Amino acid sequence: MPGAGTHDGQPPRWWIYRGTGRPLHDTSLAALLPPPPPWRAFDGGPVLPPPPDDDAEITRRLGVHHAPARSFPGFTDHEAKMVNTALLLRRPLLVSGRPGTGKSSLAYRISRELRLGRVLRWHITSRTTLQQGLYEYDAIGRIQDTAALRAAAGDDPSAEVRSAPPGVGDYIQLGPVGTALLPYAAPRVLLIDELDKSDLDLANDLLSVFEEGSYSIPELLRARRRHPAVKVLTDDPEGEAEITGGSVTCRAFPIVIMTSNSEREFPPAFLRRCLLLDMPEPDEEDLEGILTAHFGGEAATQWGGELIPRFLERSRQRGGLSKDQFLNSLHLAMSDPDADPTGPLPEFIETAWHPLFGTDPGTRTV
């Protein structure tokens, strides 16, 4: 793999994701992406149409303005290298770092730049199971609807009307992981947020699904002779997909971004099949880019000179602050009609800068 970083200020030729924040123009990821390694090639089908766009959500998270390259929290040549390596190898990317450093935003940056549509997001808790990520089957709802249909039929002599239950596909909805593994021509972006909050078994369960690129739905497997092809709901709004034979196999392996706050360790077998990226703390250039993306270049120039160094100093004092707190403070300042961007910033902007980890180190007493 040639090169590990930029050459004379230009990204290496093998990079597809450049980290510029600007969508691909006059081309697509499918046209740029080389074939997968033979051991990561999948042949699911029939191929589904592209997913819906979600420009409003991406804009809400990344800002409406296009900022210059390396303008996002944590963006470095190393980040782009790891994203491109994950693309070429069809491997999940495990992104670790302190809360608020832009780990989750990476999924949305990739989706916007590579024009991959709506990001599928799965937020993990200690009670999350793999099946919830793959699909959910509302068996109780189907039983209740069947009983209601039979009651409505009453004395109708047609046994078929009285006994036929509703179609099973109406009661199955794929989760974010199950939707991402559908046979799309181009990879979906799947964000698995805060994986380190999961049960100890979830990482190993995910490992099996990601290795095979497929999964089965037992409720459809049992009915495959009578109903070989069944339409089910997906995780996309109003989305549906047809599943044949009760099994799903991907065609383009999804771009999987898994975030971790480094609160636990993962099994070696899981780590061996992932790529690892440690998200660094944002610096002055990162924070200036955030202001530009959300408020425009003029606001970044007017307010950033004092706000950015002040925020970084408080972040060091308080064990690390988040980009959301940074944006909140500027919105507060701009909402004050008496605030002067050329003068000292008001003290009340620091009301949004509370410590993320318990007691403020600067206020502790011995």
Q: pLDDT tens for residues 240-257?
A: 999 999 999 999 999 999
pLDDT in tens, 50-96: 998 988 898 888 887 655 444 444 456 889 999 999 999 999 999 99
Give tens-digit pLDDT for 23-43.
998 899 989 999 999 999 999
Q: What is the DSSP letter of 274?
A: S
Backbone angles phi, psi at 259, to 5 degrees: -105, 150
| CATH code of the domain occupying 29-132+176-214+249-278 | 3.40.50.300
Q: Which long-range contacts (CB under 8 A, 24 or more apart) does 10-17 make?
A: 11/80, 14/84, 14/88, 15/80, 15/81, 15/84, 16/84, 16/87, 16/114, 17/80, 17/83, 17/84, 17/87, 17/110, 17/113, 17/114
Rounded to whole angstroms, how far apart are CA atoms 7 and 22?
Answer: 20
Rounded-to-5 percentages of helix, strand, coil across the chain = 40, 15, 45
Q: Are 191 and 107 in contact (CB under 8 A)?
A: yes
What is the Cα–Cα distance from 73 to 287, expressed in whole angstroms? 7
Question: What residues pair up with 192 in beta bridges, in sequence order?
Answer: 122, 258
What pLDDT is stored for residue 160 in this prediction?
54
Assigned token pair, 3: 């090169």
Of 121, 113, 112, which Cα lies nearest the Cα of 237?
A: 121
Q: Which helix (H) or strand (E) holds 193?
A: strand 189-193
* CA dist., res. 72 & res. 287, Å (int): 8
Q: Do strands 275-278 and 255-260 pair parallel, antiparallel, or not at all (unpaired)?
A: unpaired
Question: Who contacts 269 (Cβ-Cβ below 8 Å, separation ≥6)?
Answer: 204, 207
Instruction: For residue 224, give every residue at least 6 positions away whose Cβ sits within 8 Å of its Cβ, in sequence order, or none.
Output: 245, 246
CA–CA distance, 311 with 110 (Å, rounded to integer): 27
Is pLDDT above 80 for 197?
Answer: yes
Residue 353's pLDDT is 87
pLDDT (tens digit, 9 = 90+) per residue, 144-193?
A: 887 887 777 766 655 555 556 678 888 999 999 999 999 999 999 999 99
Tokens of 156: 């109708």
